[in-house]
Amino acid sequence: MPIHHRILFVVASLALACSCRTTKTQEATTSEAKSIEAKTSDGGPAALRFTNDDEQALYLQMMNVETNAGIKVAKDQLHTSRGLVECRRVGSLSPCTIRVRLTGLEISATQPLVKNVSPSLWAYAEELRPELKAEKLVLMSLLCDYIGKKSPPYNITSVRCEVSLPRMADEMIFLGKAAEELSEGIRGEAAYGPKLVTLTGAVSCQWLKISPRTPCIVRAQAGGVLQEKITEMSPGVAAEVARSLSQAEADHARVTTPLASSSKSPPEANQNIVAALTCLVDNTKSETEGKRTYVCRAKI
């Protein structure tokens, strides 16, 4: 399919989806966008660490789920386990559970946390994003890195587990190069200057029958209206954004549908995913340190 035909297709889908968005996204303010990642460390999101004992127990729990699902984990070697934290408000209770990511879009059924760390998880999420205090369901990313005694050149055995990116059930958060491309794509006529700038727009990604590529385009929004100009993302970043949006869509289906399947097949060819974007560009250190950071929230 010629690129201009693909672009016309995704533009139509993108315009349709964004016309149905609520004014909440359209009226995003700088203070609201800033709360996407209120605390940063070296330009990235502040993560919540577990205690050493909890990290060991959590990693073993996640690894057991992986091996029970048929995933081979090399003994005493470098390994990373990833998961999803679900925190819910159910009456007077606020329990948090985890799911372990398996292969592709597959994810395990819910697993209990190794200890009662739910209060700390809620406190972390609400400190980073105060608007989550009003939510009954909050998701976070979970990652455990294991270094074994057979992991040269390391001569230690270590586990590090952390939680990051607190978000609503229908969101995905982008950092780094992906956030930079998304932000620049929806920048429009916005001037930066040494300040925090909030940008809004939309992103659309499409799976094609005749190509392994997954083209994604972005459009800026001004005054609640999508602008005419479109920007196609670079292939590598587009693939990352498309995978993440697919994961967010699959996660949303699992955590919001009672008795939902624990796995989901990859998107079919020509599937189109559209998300509204709110990006925060922090230029406060651009003049003094030559550094600019980007954070984007995509709402599917």
Q: Which helix (H) or strand (E) holds 278?
A: strand 272-282
SS3 content of the chain, % helix, strand, coil (to 5): 30, 30, 35
pLDDT at 258: 66
Q: Is the per-residue pLDDT at 69 higher than 90?
A: yes
pLDDT tens figures, 135-191:
999 999 999 999 887 777 767 789 999 999 999 999 999 999 999 999 999 998 888
Neighbour count for residue 8 (Cβ, 10 Å): 12
pLDDT tens figures, 216-265:
999 999 888 999 899 999 999 999 999 999 999 999 999 998 654 444 44
Which of the pair, 7 or 285, is modelled with greater confidence? 285
Neighbour count for residue 284 (Cβ, 10 Å): 14
pLDDT at 250: 92
Nearest to 81 by CA among 143, 6, 170, 19: 143
Residues 196/284, Cβ–Cβ less than 8 Å: yes
pLDDT > 70: what percent of the chain? 80
The set of residues, in sequence order, having a beta carbon less than 8 Å from that of 249 and lying 6+ positions away, is 273, 300
pLDDT > 90: what percent of the chain? 60
pLDDT at 282: 92
Q: What is the DSSP letter of 55?
A: H
Omega before 267 within 30 of 0, i.e. cis: no
pLDDT at 198: 93
- Average pLDDT, integer, range 87-111: 94
Q: Is the per-residue pLDDT at 197 higher than 50?
A: yes
pTM of the model: 0.82
pLDDT at 115: 73
